[in-house]
Structure 1
Amino acid sequence: MSHPHDFLASAQRTIRIEADAVAALQQQLGEHFNAACQLMLNCTGRVVVIGMGKSGHIGNKIAATLASTGTPSFFVHPAEASHGDMGMITAADVVLALSNSGETPEVLNLIPLLKRLRIPLISMTGNASSSLATAADIHITLSIDEEACPLGLAPTTSTTVALVMGDALAVALLEARGFTAEDFAFSHPGGSLGRRLLLRARDLMHGGEQLPQVSPDTLLRDSLLEITRKGLGLTTVTDESGQLCGIFTDGDLRRALDQRLDLHSLPISDVMTRGCKTINPELLAAEALNLMEQWSITALVVVEQNKPVGILHMHDLIKAGVV
């Protein structure tokens, strides 16, 4: 009968080994890292990442992270590069090659071609004396004490530190470029992040015929009809020149009823809220949401030169996936 395995002990040992290796990366950073960043920052083409096996999987992720954070990049499989995909790499590019041993044949086979085209080569290996490291223009060392795999065979710690170093490169370049959240959203237009960062108040507001609007001398009862017709739970109050004077909401109506005011003869100007919260049409929807939460309200008047052009409601933000 086999003894039960201590899964937790295995997991804890793995995490400890990999965490120690990641922490040790800070001591390995130096001028070579700065030089690699500067080379990629100055690149007029793309950063082409190559790697075989597990290094290839990590390289693929690094390329994707670079591309989504402002550094044009893509991954090329080194074996496929020897059979036609080398044509994807141009003299304006920079190549970032990953190999823990630094002796991966499929990667080394590309070096003469890269040298012939004078394409700068950055290597990331665990052996600074390896063939790939010595052939590279810039080498980033990723030495580790041990793999988390107890057999020392499966790439575990080595791939983790490579992934972390790739993130370090991407973030350093992101900050150097002054890359913004809106820039990031343009790389992710289909996701919830893109909706949060690309949609503006103008895109979601109710304007035109949907905009509830009455004049200051409109009777309260008639204002209620406008609120009902437009279905937004409020109406704007504007003067003859179209300037915003105030707003009347469901909350204002409740307060008027509590005071037993005459709904039939009272003008809206007597009960409207003056100095209401407004926003610009170009304000990001995510920022509008923050304002609604800050002010504990569910709608904002969108204005241009103090003239109402629309109403942005919390329901619109929810429907668009901004919340």
Structure 2
Amino acid sequence: MRGVAVTLGAIALVAVGAGWLALGPSAVDAPRTTAPAAATTAVAPLSPAPRPPATAAAPDALLTSDLIALFDQVLAEAQADSKATLMARAPALLAKHLREDWRVRALGLLERYVDMQEALRTLQPPAANDPAFLRRSLEAREAVRRQYFAPEEIEGLFGDQIRQDQFMAEKMELLSNPGLTPEQRAAALAQSEQAWLSPAQREVRKDAVAHLDVMRQTEALQARGASPQERFAARSEAYGYEVARGLATLDQETQEWNARLDRYASAPESEQARLRETLFNESERLRLSGALAMRSAAAPKPAR
């Protein structure tokens, strides 16, 4: 389906359990630094604590989450079957992304990162919907980190991830607390989000929540057979004119795509080869089989 530029997106904020062969986002030549913002929380924190005040000493430019993403990229590119092979290939791979005066230090950090990831693999992963177990898992992960990295290295390399984990742990605790009213729970969640997440992370979370809200509203509109005019009015009231207009365009493109799929699927096999070329462009033809398979899987099964 061809996309429409709207202001909504989705991302998962949980950062727990990762094998040392995981592939991270593309790294940049010089890892970015983000000035931490002030925050406090009443919950006993893991290390690091909520974001340090902006008046703290300038952070080390090498020690950022971007370096961890680069390490994950190097691990994937090295295709090594042992640590010795990895460390032999790593200098050349790091040299493609890091300036020269950072490479020796980064190589040492990479070796400790690999050792830490191997140790983390021995931990039991967090259980779903068990806040107490998640807390214990996060504490165990933090204890492993301390074995391989100094406090300032943990803050720079893993601080954002740890704060996201803390937020998710608090969120699970609040959602499972039967003693809170909906209003109290919402206020506590907002306070926890403010304490643990950076402005950029809060913006990502807001977009993710908005994306889910749009999906739920669209499903409800479809279920009651709302007209295009009714959809536009409901969306415009909830999300504004521009988003409603983008979603209306997406609805139209989806309807047009489904119509072409219907025509192709219902045509005789002798006609499908010609329709494949005339109804779909090159990129659409690449996903045609998958789209038809999904439609088939979603179709209601006849009752026996």
Q: Give the TM-score category using the shorter length.
A: under 0.3
> Which structure is higher in RCO with an 8 Å CA cutoff and minimum separation 6?
2
Q: Which has the higher helix share?
A: 2
TM-score in terms of structure 1 length: 0.23
* CA radius of gyration, larger in: 1
Q: Which has the higher strand share?
A: 1
